[in-house]
Amino acid sequence: MRSKQSPVERLREWIQRNPWPTAMAVLAAFALWFAYRGADVFAQNKAERDILAARDAAVAAVTARSGDLVGRMLAARKQAEPLLAAGDEGPVKLHFREAFKQAEAVELFTPDFSAAYADIAAFGAGKLGLLEAAVNDDSVAMRVIKAGGGPRLALVKSLGSGAQTRLAYVQLPVSELDAALGGPMQGARFLALRQGQYDVLTRGDATLASTAELNAGKVGKTPWRVVASVPLADRGLFGAGGIGEFVLAALLAAAAVACRFAPAFLHRRRHAAAFGQDEAVEGDTTLTLEEMRQKGLLAEKLAAERPVFNIKEAVRPKVPLERSIFRAYDIRGVVGTNLDAGIARLIGEAVGTVLVEKGLAGIHVGYDGRLSSPGLAEGLREGLASTGVAVVDLGCVPTPLVYFAAANSELRSGISLTGSHNPPDYNGFKIVIDGHTLSGDAITALFDRIVDKKIIKAENPGAVTSRDVMPEYVRTIADDIHIERPLKVVVDCGNGVPGAVAPQVLTAIGAQVEEIHCEVDGNFPNHHPDPSDPENLQDLIELVKRSGADLGLAFDGDGDRLGVVTAQGEIIYPDRLLMLFAEDVLSRNPGAAIIYDVKCTGALQGHILRNGGSPLMWKTGHSLIKAKMKESHAELAGEMSGHFFFAERWFGFDDGIYAAARLLEILAAAPDGIQAAFDALPTSVSTPELKIAVEEGRQHALIERFVAEAHFDGARVSLIDGLRADWPDGWGLVRASNTTPVLVLRFEANDQAGLTRIQEAFRERLLALDPALTLPF
């Protein structure tokens, strides 16, 4: 008696008896699927075409609207100038009021802004910057500024001449541009009027804003762009927008039809010619897996797919886990005291858990050239992989390359294991998760997670693979920057990891590079890799002078900071470099926000305003600055320590190597030469960063007492970060370092007498705080 067959067995038997009908059904099903996919891809690309059409319409409408506003401004000026010559400003304002009945404010200013500079916060930095831009502008200066508690559209035009010169200021609601952007937008579409990094007006789904810049359309001679985005369209097979799928569907349908007639055709062929066929079939036979294994080929195939690193048995900490290493904007400790491979593994477990909880698939890991870095990196990778996330190992690379890899990957996360500019026995972790650099509570939360054992353990560890990001990094910079004339530069990397990358980047953009101390050596045998200390620049200064180079460039231990010396051996401090960068960025992005830290020169605020920008002083710290850049949509930021952050044409992270390339681009195009470009910047009498060593962790307590007890008569005191006291002729600062146990000070004044007076005021109050302090001034 025949046993009853299961449905699967009956299906298998039917397929064996009817292979051609089966093949025809499968091919027909695939043909239908690809036809459906073609229709879907075509629809996606239509959505993209529609949003681009909407962008172009908005560009035209905003161009027309802004042209109308400019026209009315020029007409009012023409009518008002004869009245201004008569010395009566009342009727002048009235003409502008008549031209702009919807105006919130109409004012006249003289080109002397001394009163405005005396209290910039009350007057408005955006307003002052626009007035400064209009002084030497023959056209109408127009942009969106922050005034009256929110964004406003402002226009300025100069009228009159000589002592009668006035600047007519008209302030309008931003809604004046609203209609030009069109009506509400439904579905997954986004359209915005963007100035710098700030979206003035928006339509549609704001979650698509981050990719809208790819479809930006410039609005005439205004500072605005119309940006647009839809979900990324699938280009389909061969990038043909759905046509490839339709073609493949047709081919599969034809194959399905061929299967319908294949049995009869093959039956005739077998009767017509049978000889030689067995040999042909045997010659085309593909190797089976067993045959691959016997020939040794399978092992090679599997080895190629295996992760680069095998996850070993968990590394255990041999030093105590201390809260003190979890600092304001990174994790930093002393190897062998409160940091080792076991601690690195715990940190990896904590970060990996955060990634899993956020639904992120993996993270990039890179490390600097310190002797302790490879071992710590291994522990870090093991910890990350133990949570199940994928780890992409970048090897020994500068920190900016880790940031770059994260910014150019779907993972959008990275950890740079580096001691930066700190002593050789230090090391640490700079962490980016989903595009955000961790700081403050987000870092201390990692410590709490480890202590509370809120760690995810995956049944299968994540794969650890490798990526060589350096060629892409060099190519990306070289594709964007190429200097107008060759410059000879000396590069001193202090034996830090930038020595493996910086010379290649600068050579790729057209510079002639001479290297000094560029061999990566974690012992730092020549000098410490900290360009903020003038003592560490002496070798560079000597070689620049001896070689007749145009410039000297120095990098810190992980490449996110830049130091510069001229052909004459003069150190150009980072706050003056930031002036040069700000001029360049503002020439293309009028009104952009420029951020600088509390250690920067007092002349920087006025310099940014005079170049039409919006200055913003903020706390010291790379992660704090990056967070403020995102919040304020700033195009550029810089710190006195030598960190520079370019959002314009770059990714907004601190990158000393990229900053060096941008500097050479500016200097190579300087019409009067390099020294003239530096000489044109405002000067003062100032000190470099001065440091007072204290016991580990005590610096913060001392600053708290200093802020509470110290008083400075006649000074405007800022408590953004530590205490900064500004007098009319100079300023002084004392703050707690977040990376090493020191107090950081800096002083600046118009002349030496003022500098001495300010230093003495701080000396008196610091020694009153603790007479045992050893002061460096």
Residues with a known catalytic role: 332, 420, 643
Q: Which residue from 155, 175, 286, 159 is spatially nearest to 222, judged by alpha carbons? A: 155
Computed over its alpha carbons, how large is the radius of gyration of the chain?
33
Which tokens in the block code for residue 17? 């008896």
User: Which burial class, exposed, middle or buried, applies to 217 when counting CB atoms under 10 A from its CB (0-12, 13-18, 19+)?
Assistant: middle
CA distance 548 to 490: 10
- DSSP code string of 687-755: ---EEEE-STTHHHHHHHHHHHH---TT-EEE-SSSEEEEETTEEEEEEE-SSSSEEEEEEEESSHHHH
- Please, what is the end-to-end C-alpha distance for the chain in angstroms? 107
Three-state SS at 399: helix
Neighbours of 165 (CB within 10 A): 15
Sign of CA dihedral 267, 273, 275, 279: negative
CA 477 to the chain's CA centroid: 14
Angle between helices 341-357 and 373-386 in degrees, nearest 10: 40
Three-state SS at 321: coil
Distances (CA, A) of 289 to 297, 302, 304: 9, 12, 16
Residue ranges of alpha helices (H) inside 653-697 are 656-668, 674-679
Three-state SS at 565: strand
For residue 436, the surrounding DSSP H or E stretch is strand 436-437
Residue 692 pairs in a beta bridge with 743
Strands (E), 272-418: 331-334, 362-367, 390-396, 414-417
Neighbours of 508 (CB within 10 A): 17
Contact residues for 559 (Cβ-Cβ < 8 A; gap 6+) = 398, 399, 400, 401, 493, 496, 497, 498, 501, 502, 655, 656, 657
Q: What is the DSSP letter of 339?
A: B
Interstrand relation of 224-229 and 217-218 (parallel, antiparallel or unpaired): antiparallel
- DSSP code string of 51-63: HHHHHHHHHHHHH
Which tokens in the block code for residue 338? 């409160």
Residue the block writes with tokens 């007092």: 602
Neighbours of 118 (CB within 10 A): 10
CA distance 312 to 518: 34
For 630-635, which contacts have Cβ atoms below 8 Å and span 24 or more sequence positions?
630/436, 632/593, 632/595, 633/196, 633/197, 633/198, 633/593, 634/196, 634/197, 634/592, 634/593, 634/594, 634/595, 635/196, 635/197, 635/585, 635/589, 635/592, 635/593, 635/594
CA distance 120 to 523: 48
Sign of CA dihedral 95, 98, 102, 104: positive
Q: Could you tell me if 368 and 556 are in contact, meaning their C-beta atoms sit under 8 angstroms apart?
A: no
Q: What is the DSSP letter of 226?
A: E
Q: What is the DSSP letter of 183?
A: S
Contact residues for 186 (Cβ-Cβ < 8 A; gap 6+) = 204
Q: Which residue from 101, 76, 102 is spatially nearest to 166, judged by alpha carbons? A: 76
